[in-house]
Amino acid sequence: MVRVAGGTDDVPHPAGTENPMTLRTDALTASIRYEGSARSLQLDAPTAAALTPFDGTASAAGDGHVLTGPLSTANALALQAAFPSLRPQRISDHRTSVGTGDRTGLATLGQARAFAAEGTGVMPVLAQQSIREMDRLGRSARSVMDDAVFGLVEAGWNRGFGADCDHIKTTEGIDRGLDAGFVMFTLDPGDMVADVTAGVAPAEAEALPWDQLEDSLADLKARYVGTTLDVGHSQITITEQDVLTAAVKYGRAVVESMRLYRHTLDNAQHEVEIEFAVDETKWLTTFFEHFYLATELTRLGASWSSFAPRYVDGFEKGVEFRGDAEELRSNLAAHHAIAEQFGGYKISLHTGSDKFSIYPLCAEATAGLVHLKTSGTSYLCGLEVVAAHDAELFSRIWDVSRASYARARASYQVSADEERTPASLAGVDLLELIRSDDARQILHVGYGDSLNATDAAGAPLHDRFLSVVSAHQEGHSEVLAAHIGRHLAPFAAVPAMR
Ligand SMILES: [Zn+2]
């Protein structure tokens, strides 16, 4: 039986610890202890035996035993063995879910607080990183999991969480996520999506890898041409050109999806769930193309719990939605209607940070069968803390991010112009700067370059960032809880709506 306990419980806390939250079983109580910016794992147990799986210094204390140990992978694994709530779960058992992502490893506490305060009924995905993000900061999939586990202990969170190995394009990336215990695998065949909109020639369709598709062009046409697709608010009669376009655009992505899917299922030693994502591609996924992908992946034996199409325009990193909200509503409703025809899977909204105006309509149009992915703006909350407590470090991060923006922007959906932002921060209100659209995107996409840079004394900015944020973890968590909470409230309201 795992209980959550606050600082007013009857467990004595060691000196130097300010009322930490704890996770408890009858055999073990766990908390995170701070000494300045340095953190350690603190365990209390009635028996010495309960502490033997953990690394650290153990001693008898009063009637029981205590252990102080490092935030190591060995200790994270031992915690996951002792506390079922620290093992990631399938999120597909929950109708509505939100992934928060944590580039720094210090955000779980504030994010969990947001779910506690504003996310009733919304399943959190607190370990969520793409391979690209991990590689940029030299983190392993296991270190992402470890950071989430310790953050959950720190938050006293025992209501379960998901772990999403995001935007995987290689079997090697799948292996990394499986080894680290991730449960959700977001498979991204986007590199195999052909850059076509309409008007493909039949020869292009004939050249598809039909043996790998276990199909023929004649059979494909027979399945679709002349049929009617019902997307709720409209009916679409499928033409031969629709079919050829969908097949040429996404046929190779179907093959790639199945290669990644089979590798995941064949190698998983634990329960996993799949998302297919083609959101990071150039052209909108039409309703028929969504239907084609779902039909073909089903025919080839895949099942999945969420799908991310390429939506209508307007999704940029870290800022409000910039497209047509009614067009988005209609678009989401149709994608949801298609998902319902395949047993009902979630429509997954990526690049979801800071789009407060559209969350209510996203929840409504999908009847709450939706997964929202946010990520980089938790890092911006960390930057607010840095700006408040170490302006010199913030200034260095700004300089590197701004200088590298022209190159970094290529891999993101952003429209910021560095020329509209200050080159020198003298006299600039830093909080206002961080919350302005241009600077937000520059800082958001510049995290890799800036945190991998060094200061004038040769110290890595990443280490300094972690040290400053960790030393102000309480304030950092307040900023995060408020910011993430604004994302959650509209989704938490959905179960009441239905
Ligand atoms: Zn995405």
Q: What total number of domains does the chain contain?
A: 2
Selected catalytic residue, list 164, 166, 242, 289: 166
Same domain, 356 and 398: yes
Of 84, 109, 143, which marks where a domain is finished? 84
Query: Do both 262 and 395 map to the same domain?
Result: yes
Question: What integer pLDDT is reported at residue 323 of this predicted model?
Answer: 96
| DSSP category for residue 51 | G
Based on the number of CB atoms within 10 Å of its own CB, is 47 exposed (0-12), middle (13-18) or buried (19 or more)? Answer: exposed
User: Mean pLDDT, to the nearest integer, of 369-396?
Assistant: 95
Domain boundary among 61, 84, 107: 84
Catalytic annotation present for 275: yes
pTM metric for this prediction: 0.93
Residues 26, 139 share a domain: no
Question: What tokens appear for 404 in the block?
Answer: 């590298």
The alpha carbon of 351 and the centre of ligand 1 are apart by a number of angstroms equal to 6
Average pLDDT, the chain: 93
60 and 181 in a single domain? The answer is: no
pLDDT of residue 12: 33
Confidence check: pLDDT of 2 > 60: no
Long-range contacts of 191-194 (CB under 8 A, 24+ apart): 191/256, 192/252, 192/253, 192/255, 192/256, 193/249, 193/250, 193/252, 193/253, 193/278, 193/281, 194/248, 194/249, 194/250, 194/252
Per-residue pLDDT averaged across 453-476, rounded?
A: 96
Question: What residues pair up with 347 in beta bridges, in sequence order?
Answer: 307, 370
**Same domain, residue pair 37 and 92:** no
Bridge partners (DSSP) of residue 127 are 163
Last residue within a domain, chosen from 66, 84, 102: 84
- Quick check: 248 pLDDT over 70? yes
Task: Compute the average pLDDT of residues 50-59.
Answer: 97
Q: 49 and 139 share a domain? A: no
* Spatial separation of the C-alpha atoms in residues 302 and 266, rounded to whole Å: 12
Q: Of 275, 289, 354, 364, which residue is the catalytic one? A: 275
Confidence of residue 14 (pLDDT cuts 50, 70, 90): very low
CATH of the domain at 214: 3.20.20.70
Question: Torsions phi, psi of 492, nearest 5?
Answer: -70, -25
**Pair (318, 423) in one structural domain:** yes
Query: What integer is the mean pLDDT of 477-481?
Result: 97
The 3-state DSSP composition of the chain as helix, strand, coil percent (nearest 5) reads 45, 15, 35
What distance in Å separates the CA atoms of residue 4 and residue 160, rounded to the nearest whole number?
A: 12
360 with 332, same domain? yes
11 has pLDDT over 50: no
Task: Of 193, 184, 191, give the one whose Cα is nearest residue 130.
Answer: 184
pLDDT confidence bin for 273, thresholds 50/70/90: very high
Q: How far is the CA of 350 from the centre of ligand 1 (A)?
A: 5
How many angstroms separate the CA atoms of 445 and 447, rounded? 6
C-alpha closest to that of 480 among 350, 349, 356, 383: 383
Q: Compute the distance from residue 374 Cα to the ligand 1 centre, in Å.
A: 9
At position 446, the amino acid (one-letter code) is: G
And the tokens for 287? 């309703």
Residue type, 101: G
Q: How far is the CA of 281 from the centre of ligand 1 (A)?
A: 9
The per-residue pLDDT for 6 is 35
Same structural domain, 70 and 219: no
User: What DSSP designation does 411 have?
Assistant: G
Distances (CA, A) of 38 to 18, 63, 70, 405: 14, 28, 10, 32
497, pLDDT greater than 80: no
> Phi and psi (nearest 5°) for 178?
-65, -45
pLDDT score of 210: 98
Mean pLDDT of 434-447: 95
Distance (angstroms) between ligand 1 centre and the Cα of 70 equals: 34
- Give the mean model confidence (pLDDT) for residues 94-123: 95
pLDDT at 376: 75
Give the Å distance between the CA of 191 and the centre of ligand 1.
Answer: 13
Claim to verify: residue 103 and residue 47 sit in the same structural domain: no
In terms of pLDDT, which residue wins out, 14 or 344? 344
CA 317–ligand 1 middle distance (angstroms): 11
In this structure, are 171 and 126 located in the same domain? Answer: yes
Distance (angstroms) between ligand 1 centre and the Cα of 166 equals 8
> 76 is in which domain, residue-wise?
3-84
Are 454 and 346 in the same domain? yes
On the question of pLDDT at 299 being above 80, the answer is yes
Higher pLDDT, 136 or 45: 45
pLDDT-above-90 percentage for the chain: 87
